[in-house]
Amino acid sequence: MSSNATVPDATVGPTFAQVFGPVFWGFCVSLILGGVSALQGYLYFTRYNDKLPVRLVAAMMLTLDFLSVALICQSMYYYMLPHFGSFAPLNHVTSELNIECLISAVITFTSQMYFVYQLYMVKSPGMTASVMKALVIVFGTVGLAGAVGCVAMMFKYPHSIFMNRNHVFAILAGIAKGFGAAADIVATIAMCMFLSKADTGIRRTSSMLKSLMHLVINRGILVTVAQILLLVTFFATSGHLYWLAVHINTTKLYVNTFFGMLNARTSLQERYATGHMSISGDTTAYSQRLAAAANSQMAAREKLGELGPQDYAMGAIRVTTSSTVADI
């Protein structure tokens, strides 16, 4: 411990426990969320056989999440144990924490771009749909650029991050979190709009779409609130480390909501499937079975002369909607 480092009196400034306490409890929550991520990943890889690119993205997200936990553990050790009672470590940000911030930026951007992929799979026509998808991409990219800029400033000015914060670093952090929140808000609104347009008036289909919208809204609220809370604590409580406690959990929320939306397909399909077919493995094959069953039923009714124009429309929407559930 440095001979010049002293613990400030409680009447003069915050104590060691007051400064590092929120980070410690945030770290505890992140460990719990990390365990949830591991469980979500296990359920996904044992239940689904999606296309290779989707599985690769899922594997990357899970790997980066585990690496993030390891880096956070190392940083917690450095700041709290070897220099216990001293604020001297706050004069320098570790390389491990810098790398963790970069991983957080990659996870956030990947989750947002996968949501864009989901928006694309809904295939909602019109200029509004294209504009909203473009906005999510632009906002997410600007947020990623701001986050990468933050990491660069952390490597270049490691002594001006926690104490005597660098102004450029603060501006870049504001850009990263602000545009990240904007991307999540637009993506959530866009998905709800696209799904509401797919409503056919059929009770089963409407119920399924409502469940999808609830899932999307819950995901959007979680990650958006996390980004906004991080932005507020970063600027409003610059003398404390509340923002760091929020930061290490924001990454976990993106990973958990990513796998949560992937794993929710089973419960949705089982709840709204017309038959009692077992659902496991490749969800695309399941969608094809649903489409084949619907088309066979329509063909049989067509031979009997029982189909009207509205039945063709309903059948087409049913097939498309079933595919949407599988892809989302």
pLDDT of residue 141: 94
Q: Cα Rg for the chain, rounded, in angstroms?
A: 24
| 226, 242, 269 - which closes a domain | 269
Alpha-carbon span 73 to 158, nearest angstrom: 19
The two structure tokens encoding residue 219: 């995901």
What 3-state DSSP class applies to 48?
strand
- Which are the contacts of 42, defined by CB distance < 8 A and separation ≥ 6? none
Q: Which of 104, 101, 228 is nearest to 158 (CA)?
A: 101
- Same domain assignment for residues 237 and 305: no
Q: Tell me, yes or no, whether 289 and 223 share the same domain.
A: no
Residues 149 and 228 in one domain: yes
Q: How many CB atoms lie within 10 A of CB 282?
A: 13
Q: What share of the chain is helix, strand, coil (3-state, %, to 5)?
A: 80, 0, 20
Q: Which residues of 55-89 are buried (b: 16+ CB within 10 A; e: fewer)?
A: eebbeebbebbeebbebbebbbeebbeebeebbeb
Does residue 80 fall inside a structural domain?
Answer: yes
Query: What pTM was computed for the model?
Result: 0.73
Clarify whether residues 151 and 203 are in a common domain.
yes
Are 291 and 263 in the same domain? no
User: Which CATH number covers residue 62?
Assistant: 1.20.1070
**CA nearest 196: which of 210, 215, 178?**
210
**Tokens 């790398």 -> residue:** 99
Residues 169, 44, single domain; the answer is yes
CA 22, CA 246: separation in Å to the nearest integer? 9
The pLDDT of residue 38: 92
Give domain status of residue 39, yes or no: yes
Which pair of tokens denotes residue 222? 């979680």
**pLDDT of the chain along its 328 residues, tens only?**
333 444 444 445 677 777 788 888 988 999 999 999 999 999 999 888 888 988 999 999 999 999 999 999 988 888 888 877 777 777 888 888 899 999 999 999 999 898 888 777 766 667 777 888 899 999 999 999 999 999 999 898 888 888 778 889 889 999 999 999 999 999 888 887 777 765 555 666 666 666 677 777 878 888 888 889 988 888 887 777 888 889 989 989 999 989 988 887 766 665 655 443 333 344 444 444 544 544 554 444 444 444 333 333 333 223 343 333 334 4
